[in-house]
Structure 1
């Protein structure tokens, strides 16, 4: 049966004007809604689609889902233990955790992901980054499969601002450096230099290194961004 998406999945994210705790809670709420929406889409996939390549390097769709489950199940201590055990090789760390949280079948992998939909566990307190994990990896899955979905602009705006401010899980700040980014569907705008414009989602995905989203951007700065996020 198709899982119902909580109403927050289709509502704009309203970030409080004051209070770090309230703002963090709003980001977690958006994260939970994004996970629920993705789980709803995944429920409709057949085995062939689960095995399709994603936009995330060599990972297939099922592996990306297992990675998201791992991210929502790994706190600071567990993350430190894992990364130390992998001798700071993030690829090895991610692969080990992915294997740990992947099921014997796609249905089991999906069930494990459903269990962490409302999790607030994360390696660090950078909540916007973990919202970004779900938004970016959700599109890593949906775009190759042709699944239509546009996350709420205000939620994506928070991720875009975080990505533009620093290199964290992705080299997003480096990708945007020296460019003027302007969203065509929301308030996100940052930087100075050759202009790159497009939807907030396209800008965010390009900052995350997903080069195919450069096709959705316009402006004289696009060739520079495309070169920086090419595989």
Structure 2
């Protein structure tokens, strides 16, 4: 674990962020559920079903799904979303609530599953105008993980040759032209959300934007 953070602590952060997202979505209406998220073509409801799928799928079931999709990860993800989406948005939310305290994941990279909920929660909240952001402790752990490697997104490659510095927490990494801003904005940019580069400043921003 990074900086002495244990796996149990990372799971506790994950559970807290899931619970906060479920609370935020309690009063969302049908029009809002159908709104496009920041995550590609997925709607708000589809992103939530994706989070439920990730917390319900262990390594073996994940591998079987990938093989059945012939290693087409878009197809793999679409199938899992369909399987974990409810008949109504309310049912989709109930299914998400049921996995809030899950410690299941396709791999043992706990920081990555914390990153899933941190990033996808913003994918959902921003189009809905929901202001809540993750705790600095949680998002700092995700930023450090993303900066250290390319995992599900080319986050490490996107910041090569740049200096990232958070203005609201301890996260800092790299050398080169500076990119600064809130930790969540840096994290979302590393996760490939180009629109979040609008929240960053510094001479390295155009380079980062061109990569994400």
TM norm. shorter chain > 0.5: yes
Contact 2:179/2:202, CA 8 A, preserved across alignment: yes
Q: Distance in 1 between matches of 2:2 and 2:175?
A: 28
Q: Report 1:59-208 matches (<5 A).
A: 59-208=42-191
In the TM superposition, structure 1's runs of 4+ consecutive aligned residues that sit over 6 Å from their partners are none
TM-score, length basis structure 1: 0.90
Give the deviation of 1:17 after TM superposition: 6.7
Give the deviation of 1:149 after TM superposition: 0.7
What is the CA deviation profile of residues 81-131 of structure 1, one whole-angstrom value per residue up to 9, with x for unaligned ones? 111111111111100000000000000000000000000000000000000
Number of equivalent positions: 212
Q: Which residue of 2 aligns with 1:57?
A: 40
Q: CA RMSD in A?
A: 1.3
Q: Distance in 2 between matches of 1:100 and 1:57?
A: 19
Give the deviation of 1:213 after TM superposition: 0.8
Partner SS for 2:192:
coil
Give the deviation of 1:150 after TM superposition: 1.6
Q: Distance in 1 between matches of 2:13 and 2:3?
A: 16
TM-score, length basis structure 2: 0.97
